[in-house]
Amino acid sequence: MTQHKLTDAMASSDPKTKMWKSRFAAAKAAYSVGDFRQCESLLFRAMAQAKTLTEWTFATNTCHVGLGALYLATGKHDRAREQLETAMNALSGSGEPALRELYAVALRFQGQLLIEAGDYAEAENQLQAAIQTLEGLGTDGGVQLAYTLSDLATLYVIQGNLKDAKELVFSAMDILEAALGPGNPEYARASMIYNVTEAKGEEQLLSEVEDSIFRMQYQHGYKHPNITRALRRYLKKRQERGESDKIAEAKERFDLHSKALGS
């Protein structure tokens, strides 16, 4: 059976584990609405609690990966790298499926971090390694595999490789539709990427990106890191093209995103 949440891999049902899962879920909720201070606090509390659990290796490194994602979202790239490398060093070489899946998730966020840094070649290496690991887990790694396929498709879109991006994100949509349903925010993100790959020419592509981000905010919420990350990349491309008028129009359209847009 496909696991919908990473923490589904924790088999223990003792009260301490249930409490840890609840705290980690609260941290994820805070992350999704952009309450990063609360998210960080909850993750550090979960980290301290994780050391008392039977499945402490999984729980502790899940917190490290969570902090890596948080610091990536807040632009603290050195701290993000430190957290992700701590997890990857602890998990590398593990034969246990749950720890292999978590290792792949750490690779995925490392890939995102490298995309933000503009190191596209190494980002592709990390994402491909994550995909290979998740494919080896079968259906249990399906949801995380779909997320990673979407990330690699995004990288290919950035590089202008729409053909390979389309193939990857189509596979991701198949998995997500079966596992989570078409109303899920991650399916909406994959659908956005697919629509972008259908664009003819760079201007149509950029217009589709802007429209898709606008639609996505209703699934994710306008403070979700996926939204702010997509907005930053969109505006960076407009800036590279010297299109100050398009940037001004986007800032007006996404006035609720003023901080994310750098205004």
Minimal CA–CA distance to 7: which of 108, 194, 144?
144
252 is a domain residue: no
d(CA 69, CA 74): 9
Over residues 135-144, the pLDDT tens digits come to 999 888 899 9
Q: How many domains does the chain have?
A: 1
Is residue 220 over pLDDT 80?
no
Residues found in the chain: 263
233 has pLDDT over 60: yes
Contact 62, 7 (CB under 8 A): yes
Q: Is residue 216 part of a domain?
A: no
- Contact between 152 and 130 under an 8 Å Cβ cutoff? The reply is no
In a domain, 234, yes or no: no
Handedness of CA 221, 226, 228, 230 (dihedral sign): negative
- Residue 210 falls inside a structural domain: no
Q: What is the CA radius of gyration of the chain?
A: 18
Domain containing residue 188: 6-198
Percent of the chain whose pLDDT exceeds 90:
55
> What mean pLDDT comes out for the span 88-93?
94
Give the pLDDT score at 255.
60
Residue 193 lies in a domain: yes
Range in 125-134, 142-151, 227-236 with the lowest mean pLDDT: 227-236
Question: Does 191 map to a domain?
Answer: yes
- pLDDT attached to residue 4: 56
Instruction: Decide which of 229 and 43 is more confident.
Output: 43
| Per-residue pLDDT tens over the stretch 24-59 | 999 999 998 889 999 999 999 999 999 999 999 999
CATH for 126:
1.25.40.10
CB 213 within 8 A of CB 192: yes
In-domain check, residue 249: no
Under DSSP, the state recorded for 84 is: H
**Across the chain, where does the E strand assignment appear?**
none
| Chain centre to alpha carbon of residue 250 | 23
The answer to whether the CB of 84 falls within 8 A of the CB of 109 is yes
Q: State pTM to two decimals.
A: 0.83
Give SS3 for 200: coil
Least confident of 49-53, 122-126, 152-156, 210-214: 210-214
Query: Per the domain annotation, does 242 fall within a domain?
Result: no
pLDDT, averaged across the chain: 86
Which of 22-26, 61-65, 79-83, 181-185 shows the lowest mean pLDDT across its residues?
181-185
The amino acid present at 60, given as its one-letter code, is T
Provide φ and ψ at 241, rounded to 5°: -85, 0
Is the pLDDT at 9 greater than 70, yes or no? no
